[in-house]
Amino acid sequence: MENTTQNRSVAVIGASGYSGIELVKILLNHPRIKLAHVIGSSTVGKRVDDIYPYFRGKTDLTMEPYQLETLKRTDIVFLALPHGEALKRVPELVDAGIRVIDFSGDFRFKSPEIYEKWYKLPHTAPNYLEKAVYGIPELFGEEIRTCQLLANPGCYPTGAILALAPLLANPQIGQRVVHESIAITSMSGTSGAGRKEKLELMFAEVNESIKAYKVGHHQHTPEIKATLERLAGRTLDVLFIPHLIPMTRGIYTTICLPLKEAVSWETIVNGYREFYRDARFVRIFEDMPPEVKFVVGTNYCDIGLAIDETQRFLIITSAIDNLVKGAAGQAVQSMNLMFGFPEEEGLL
């Protein structure tokens, strides 16, 4: 049983990226957490408030080099690193008995072959895949509470999976509504691509435009598919089409499902409300579609429901902040469960 009365010591590796610094912001305001270490590579020796002046007067933390011995004195380590980098750190952290929350895709699959196919990298730590728990608190909370290694979900998968979970996990509704093929369209702001300089993310390239990208081969597709199949208990064909839009943060997802048979509006709405009855950060919109501006800066996932006038299609929309519910906020929500804290601690 966790001791929930004392503050917990945590460290963030990769603290200078967009997701990492969002995590720092949340942790500094968490009433039961001491942010003991922020760790970087190219930023070592720089103060956090020099990299991000937002933090002036809020913290005097300085970016440190990675040192395993130092981290052994912390209760949990967050890895906000690019794909492939966590493979180098997770094994020794886990072997040292440290609890780890990884933001990358390195430990989201049970199969190293799937990872290698979609991420185009060799998986050098396959023995640790079975140790990892996929971290959507609304769906896998009990597993999260006791895990040592948590694979924080991708931002696109979070919005899509939460939008579909009540249908797929409830056979009485799902098998009457959901076909074996599901098409998902999502739109993301530019912060989802990280902080590195990229020509295609420059203001002049993105502004006043919208484009689909990685059509048919985005690395989040198998993550969405595997989780939905786990919920449904059957094989599904999943098509995922991401789009880049000219805003900084936020993800908006639209899913259109042909109804296999007539299902009343009340049955669908009540099914969603019952499924998320105890979910502190999921809000159901039955009277209007959600909007990204409702969730920016929050850990909420807003889900909208509608049936078209022909009564032949169910339309599901969802909105999240990709840096909070899609990354740092969801990670802290899982951390709260791991420490036995209230799920919403530090997130409201």
Distance CA 187, CA 305 (A): 18
Distance CA 84, CA 72 (A): 22
DSSP string of 282-303, one letter each residue: EEEESSS---GGGTTTS--EEE
Distances (CA, A) of 63 to 36, 86, 156, 271: 11, 18, 29, 47
DSSP string of 141-176, one letter each residue: HHHHHH-SEEEPPPHHHHHHHHHHHHHHS-HHHHHH
Phi-psi region of 250 (alpha: psi -120 to 50; beta: other; left: phi over 0): left
Element (H, E) at 222: helix 221-232
- Tokens 């999921």 correspond to 282
> In this structure, what token pair is assigned to residue 130?
């079975």
Q: Give yes or no for a contact between 65 and 324, defined as CB atoms under 8 angstroms apart.
A: no
Active site residues: 155
